[in-house]
Amino acid sequence: MAQSERKESDMIFPREVLIGNGYISRAYELCSRLKLGNRALIICGTVTRDIAGKNVADMLSDKGYSCELMIEGRATQESAERVGEVAKDFDFIMGIGGGSKIDLAKMGAHIADIPFISIPTTASHDGIASPRASIKKNGSSLSVEASAPIAIIADTGIVAKAPYRLLASGCADLIAKRSSVKDWELANRLKDEPFSSFAAALAMLACNTILENADAIKEGLEESAWIVLKSLVLSGVSMSIAGSSRPASGAEHLFAHALDTIAPGKALHGEECGVGTIIALYLHGEDWKIIREALKKIKAPVTAKELGVKDEDIIEALVKAHTMRSDRYTILGEGISRGAAEKAAKITGVIA
Ligand SMILES: [Zn+2]
């Protein structure tokens, strides 16, 4: 169905996206081409320092850059502010890691108003290329405005060696675009919310690439890392075009955020979104079974048990989901009743 669109938009894209085997070795070449200055702040964790951080710092130092490795843990408001303060003495930031290090780097870049290069070492979610950061505050995750990366380097050799569960979670976060785009269309029709067919098409392309390749995504296969990274970048760019996380985050994400507060630390973000997508599509009256099948092929969770949470947690998360973000209209509308939530979770096989 055609959606109404405003005839204006601000789009910020990454200037270079390098994805390939051994591509971490191209960090210096990229930095010198982008001419960002020679003071680099590198955000990583203890593990990603050994995987790639130290390597990148040495490579740049050898070429005359002044580099500082900043080892960080979780992405909290305090740590983001700390990174932002330190970043004021640098020309650009590189975030090297899975989720939190990239979130901190993009927040720090936003605070210090300097460019940010995203160097993902896993492919577990689409924050690697998006202008939004997920920050932990009082036990729950907040999506906050941050800087979009000026460039992305993703080394498929490194990403393929990360635990397979992370890659499967990244796939589930991409499959989630099936329901988030439906929610966006609904909000456009019902609430006259601005819609971009360009952003929606990119998000759907990212999702469909995973659905079409579900049989080929396997543990230890570098080809799988390539497919998922490419799609995560597409999804991130769709958010840059939309100027918000709208194309990539609907009811399934609200459900995931709610479940995170009810049963923290049990499942990965993408895993929760995958299960949320099954239920959200059922509520939309769409084909949820093909989503469930694709998630099963990829070996991502499709039930409460596989997520490591109780059936009751799923129902509670569904009932609570619409309160997670009042400005995000989805198929959950003003809220789903307890009875309807239980029925939806049972019919889709998420709970027993
Ligand atoms: Zn997500």
How confident is the model over 59-113, as pLDDT tens digits?
A: 999 999 999 999 999 999 999 999 999 999 999 999 999 889 999 999 999 999 9
Q: How many whole angstroms from 250 Cα to the centroid of ligand 1?
A: 9
Q: Are residues 249 and 281 in the same domain?
A: yes
Say what the pLDDT of residue 137 is. 78
Determine the distance separating the centroid of ligand 1 and the alpha carbon of 59, expressed in angstroms.
Answer: 32
Are residues 251 and 296 located together in one domain of the fold?
yes
Is a pLDDT exceeding 80 seen at residue 117?
Answer: yes
For residue 84, give the nearest of 109, 62, 119 by alpha carbon: 109
| C-alpha of 183 from chain center | 18
Lowest average pLDDT, out of 236-245, 264-273, 307-316, goes to 236-245
List phi, psi (to 5°) of 306: -65, -30
Of residues 228 and 220, which shows the higher confidence score? 228
- Do 242 and 111 fall into the same domain? no
Q: Mean pLDDT over residues 323-328, rounded?
A: 92
Average pLDDT, the chain: 94
Tell how far the Cα of 269 is from the centroid of ligand 1, in angstroms. 6
Distance 67 CA to ligand 1 centre (A): 31
Does residue 67 sit in the same domain as residue 173?
A: no
Question: Residue 125 C-alpha to ligand 1 middle, in angstroms?
Answer: 6
- pTM listed for this prediction: 0.93
Q: How many residues does the chain have?
A: 352
The pLDDT value recorded for residue 147 is: 86
Q: What is the pLDDT of residue 134?
A: 86
CA of 50 to the centre of ligand 1 (A): 27
125: number of Cβ within 10 Å: 28
- Going from the Cα of 192 to the center of ligand 1, the distance in angstroms, rounded, reads 24
Q: Is residue 142 part of a domain?
A: yes
Q: How far does residue 30's CA lie from ligand 1's centre (Å)?
A: 28
Closest CA to 48 of 126, 141, 159: 159
4 within domain boundaries: no
Quote the ligand 1 centre to 39 CA distance (angstroms).
Answer: 32
Identify whether residues 314 and 201 lie together within a single domain.
yes
How many angstroms does the Cα of residue 65 sit away from the middle of ligand 1? Answer: 34
CA distance linking residue 20 with residue 242, whole number of Å: 27
Residue 246, classed as helix, strand or coil, is: helix
Q: Are residues 179 and 327 in the same domain?
A: yes
How many Å lie between the centroid of ligand 1 and the Cα of residue 134?
9
Query: Looking at residue 23, what is its pLDDT?
Result: 97
The SS3 assignment for 118 reads strand
Compute the distance from residue 69 Cα to the ligand 1 centre, in Å.
28
Instruction: Report residue 263's pLDDT band, with 50, 70 and 90 as the boundaries.
Output: very high
Q: Tell me the pLDDT tens digit for each residue of 204-221.
A: 999 999 999 999 999 989
Q: Is there a single domain that holds both residue 241 and residue 277?
A: yes
Among residues 205, 34, 220, 59, the alpha carbon closest in space to that of 118 is found at: 34
Count how many domains the chain has: 2
pLDDT band for 1, please (50, 70, 90 cuts): low
Asked which of 111, 128, 161 is the last residue of a domain, the reply is: 161
Q: Which of 107, 134, 161 is the last residue of a domain?
A: 161
Cα(245) to centroid of ligand 1, in Å? 9
Domain of 154, in residue numbers: 16-161
Whole-number Å distance, alpha carbon 22 to ligand 1 midpoint, is 27
The answer on 197 and 144 residing in a single domain is: no
Contact criterion met (CB below 8 Å) for 238 and 203: yes
Confidence at 131, pLDDT banded by 50, 70, 90 = confident
Taking the centre of ligand 1 as the mean of its atom positions, its distance from the CA of residue 235, in whole angstroms, is 10
Give me the amino acid identity at 140. Answer: S
Residue 6 lies in a domain: no
Q: Is residue 329 part of a domain?
A: yes
The alpha carbon of 118 and the centre of ligand 1 are apart by a number of angstroms equal to 17
Within a domain: 2: no
Which range is least confidently modeled, 69-73, 137-141, 204-208, 249-253?
Answer: 137-141
Q: Output the pLDDT for position 274.
A: 98
Residue 126 is predicted with a pLDDT of: 84
Confidence category of residue 2, pLDDT binned at 50, 70, 90: low
**Which of helix, strand or coil describes residue 316?**
helix
- Decide which of 134, 161, 188 is a domain's last residue: 161
Report the separation in Å between the CA atom of 270 and the middle of ligand 1, taken as the mean of its atom positions: 6
